[in-house]
Amino acid sequence: MPESWIILQPIIILFTGALLTPLIEYFGRALKFEKVRDAFAVIIFGLSLYSLLGIYEEVQRQGQLTYFLSPYEPKMGGVSFFVDQFSVFMALLFCLLGLFVSIYSVKYMEDDTGLDKYYSLLMVLVAGLVGISFAGDLFNLFIFWEAMSLSSYALVAFRKYRWEPIEASFKYLVMSTIGSLTALYAMSILYGLTGTLNISQLAAIIPTLKIPLQILYLIIVAIIAGFGVTASIVPFHFWLPDAHPAAPSGISAMLSGVVIKAGVYVIARILFTIFDPIAFDFGTTLVIFGIITLSVANFMALLQRDIKRLLAFSSIVNIGYIVFGFGIGAYALNIYGAAGYSIATLATMGAIFHIFNHAIGKGLLFLGAGCFIHEAGTRDLVDLEGAGKKMPWTGTSFSLGLLTLAGVPPLSGFWSKLFIILAGFTVPGNTFMVVTTSLVVLNAIFAATYYLWLMQRLMLRAPKPKVERAHEVPILMVLPVVILGLITVILGLWPFEIMGFAEVATKSLLGLIGG
Amino acid sequence: MSTPDFTLYAITAIFLYIIGLYGIVVRRNMIRTIIGLEIVTAGVNLNFLVFTILDGDLLPLAQYFVAISIVIGAAVASLALMITIQAYRHYGSIDLKKTSRLRW
* HEC per residue, A4-46: HHHHHHHHHHHHHHHHHHHHHHHHHHHCCCCCHHHHHHHHHHH
The mean predicted confidence, pLDDT, of chain A is 88
For residue A275, the SS3 value is coil
Element (H, E) at A90: helix A85-108
User: Across the interface, do B40 and A181 touch by the CB < 8 Å criterion?
Assistant: yes
User: Across the interface, do B52 and A153 touch by the CB < 8 Å criterion?
Assistant: no
Instruction: Evaluate whether A396 touches A485 at the Cβ level (below 8 Å).
Output: yes
| Confidence at residue B73, expressed as pLDDT on a 0 to 100 scale | 93
Q: pLDDT digits over A382-415, tens only?
A: 888 888 888 889 999 999 999 999 888 888 888 8
| Confidence at residue B55, expressed as pLDDT on a 0 to 100 scale | 57
Among the partner residues A76, A170, A189, nearest to B30 by beta-carbon distance: A170
How close does chain A come to B63, measured CA to CA in Å?
12
Query: What is the rounded CA–CA span in Å between residue A122 and residue A111?
Result: 18
Report whether pLDDT(A72) > 80.
no
Report whether pLDDT(A125) > 90.
yes
Maximum Cα–Cα distance for chain A, whole Å?
72
Instruction: Give bridge partners of residue A446 from the DSSP assignment.
Output: none
Instruction: Give bridge partners of residue B95 from the DSSP assignment.
Output: B29
Torsion angle, alpha carbons of A211, A213, A219, A220, to 10: 150
Assigned domain for B1 exists: no
Where along chain A do its domains lie?
276-515
User: Across the interface, do A171 and B102 touch by the CB < 8 Å criterion?
Assistant: yes
| Confidence at residue B59, expressed as pLDDT on a 0 to 100 scale | 67
Instruction: Evaluate whether A3 touches A55 at the Cβ level (below 8 Å).
Output: no
* Complete DSSP assignment for A417-472: HHHHHHHHTS-TT-HHHHHHHHHHHHHHHHHHHHHHHHHHHHHTSPPPGGGTT--P
Report whether pLDDT(A225) > 60.
yes
Report whether pLDDT(B3) > 60.
no
Q: Rounded to the nearest 5 degrees, what angle is found at the Cα of A300, between the Cα atoms of A296 and A303? A: 155
| Confidence at residue A61, expressed as pLDDT on a 0 to 100 scale | 85
**Most confidently modeled range among A23-37, A141-155, A202-216, B49-63:** A141-155
| Confidence at residue A464, expressed as pLDDT on a 0 to 100 scale | 82
Query: What is the rounded CA–CA span in Å between residue A118 and residue A371?
Result: 19
Query: What is the rounded CA–CA span in Å between residue A280 and residue A213?
Result: 9
Torsion angle, alpha carbons of A335, A337, A341, A342, to 10: -60
| Confidence at residue A75, expressed as pLDDT on a 0 to 100 scale | 56
Torsion angle, alpha carbons of A505, A507, A508, A514, to 10: 170
Q: What band does A139 get if pLDDT is binned at 50, 70 and 90? A: confident
Percent of chain A residues past pLDDT 70, beyond the cut: 97
Domain count, chain B: 1
User: Across the interface, do A184 and B69 touch by the CB < 8 Å criterion?
Assistant: yes
For residue A305, the tally of other CB atoms under 10 A from its CB is 11
Q: What band does A77 get if pLDDT is binned at 50, 70 and 90? A: low
- Using the Cβ of B69 and the Cβ atoms of chain A, whether some distance falls under 8 Å is answered with yes
Q: pLDDT digits over A10-22, tens only?
A: 999 999 999 999 9
User: Across the interface, do B48 and A153 touch by the CB < 8 Å criterion?
Assistant: no
Closest B-chain CA to A79: B61
Query: What is the rounded CA–CA span in Å between residue A330 and residue A351?
Result: 12
Instruction: Evaluate whether A325 touches A423 at the Cβ level (below 8 Å).
Output: yes
A419, A423, A412, A422: which is closest to A498 by C-alpha?
Answer: A412
| Confidence at residue A513, expressed as pLDDT on a 0 to 100 scale | 44
User: What residues of B are in contact with residue A191 (Cβ under 8 Å)?
Assistant: 48, 51-52, 59, 62, 65
| Confidence at residue B1, expressed as pLDDT on a 0 to 100 scale | 43
| Confidence at residue A475, expressed as pLDDT on a 0 to 100 scale | 86
Assigned domain for B64 exists: yes
- Using the Cβ of B87 and the Cβ atoms of chain A, whether some distance falls under 8 Å is answered with yes
Name the burial class of residue A65, with classes exposed (0-12), middle (13-18) and buried (19+) by CB atoms within 10 angstroms of its CB.
buried
CATH number at residue B20: 1.10.287.3510
Residue type, A73: E
**Which backbone phi and psi does A379 adopt, to 5 degrees?**
-110, 0
Q: What is the mean pLDDT of residues A343-348?
A: 90
Element (H, E) at A65: strand A65-68
| Confidence at residue A1, expressed as pLDDT on a 0 to 100 scale | 46
- Using the Cβ of A148 and the Cβ atoms of chain B, whether some distance falls under 8 Å is answered with no
Query: What is the rounded CA–CA span in Å between residue A491 and residue B99?
Result: 46
How close does chain A come to B87, measured CA to CA in Å?
6
| Confidence at residue A386, expressed as pLDDT on a 0 to 100 scale | 84
For residue A198, the SS3 value is strand
CB pairs A-B closer than 8 Å: 97
Report whether pLDDT(A515) > 50.
no
| Confidence at residue B56, expressed as pLDDT on a 0 to 100 scale | 59
Report whether pLDDT(B17) > 90.
yes
Among the partner residues A153, A178, A191, nearest to B40 by beta-carbon distance: A178
For residue A209, the SS3 value is coil
Residue type, A470: A
Q: Which of A126-130, A376-380, A509-513 has the lowest mean pLDDT?
A: A509-513
Maximum Cα–Cα distance for chain B, whole Å?
58
What radius of gyration, in Å, describes the C-alpha atoms of chain A?
Answer: 22
Q: What is the mean pLDDT of residues A76-105?
A: 88
CA atoms within 13 A on the CB side of A283: 29
- Using the Cβ of A218 and the Cβ atoms of chain B, whether some distance falls under 8 Å is answered with no
Q: Rounded to the nearest 5 degrees, what angle is found at the Cα of A268, between the Cα atoms of A57 and B66? A: 95
Report whether pLDDT(A195) > 90.
no
Q: What band does A514 get if pLDDT is binned at 50, 70 and 90? A: very low
Report whether pLDDT(A376) > 80.
yes
Query: What is the rounded CA–CA span in Å between residue A156 and residue A241?
Result: 12
A231, A237, A451: which is closest to A361 by C-alpha?
Answer: A451
Query: What is the rounded CA–CA span in Å between residue A370 and residue A398?
Result: 11
Q: pLDDT digits over A457-472, tens only?
A: 888 888 888 778 777 8
**Which backbone phi and psi does A82 adopt, to 5 degrees?**
-140, 125
**Which backbone phi and psi does A109 adopt, to 5 degrees?**
-95, 10
For residue B58, the SS3 value is strand
Residue type, A415: W
- Using the Cβ of B75 and the Cβ atoms of chain A, whether some distance falls under 8 Å is answered with yes
Q: Which of A430-434, A438-442, A462-466 has the lowest mean pLDDT?
A: A462-466
Give start and end residues of each alpha helix (H) in A157-248: 163-194, 199-205, 213-231, 240-246
Q: Within its chain, how far is the Cα of A370 from the centroid? A: 19
The mean predicted confidence, pLDDT, of chain B is 83
Q: What is the mean pLDDT of residues A140-166?
A: 91
Instruction: Give bridge partners of residue B57 from the DSSP assignment.
Output: B54
Give start and end residues of each alpha helix (H) in chain B: 7-26, 30-50, 60-91, 96-99
